[in-house]
Amino acid sequence: MNERLSRKRRRFKQELPLKVRLEQAAQRCREAADAEQRSASERQLLLRKARRYEVTAHLDEWLSSSAR
């Protein structure tokens, strides 16, 4: 048990803010969905994922603005 407590967490500093990272992920999903080789169901999943990233970015912005 002491061994588990003595381990340090691996931490690293994010270079970009969360909102930017989420927007980039949404853009990558949209670009992947627009690729010609995608099936309709695969495209829908990627677009849904992109929308979730965008909503999360807006929620983060909303939550951090109310804290000010």
Between 1 and 49, residue with greater pLDDT: 49
Sign of the torsion formed by the C-alpha atoms of 13, 19, 25 and 31: negative
For tokens 């979730």, name the residue: 52
Condensed to tens digits (0 to 9), the pLDDT of residues 16-67 reads 999 999 999 999 999 999 988 889 999 999 999 999 999 999 999 998 886 5
The tokens for 64 are: 């951090």
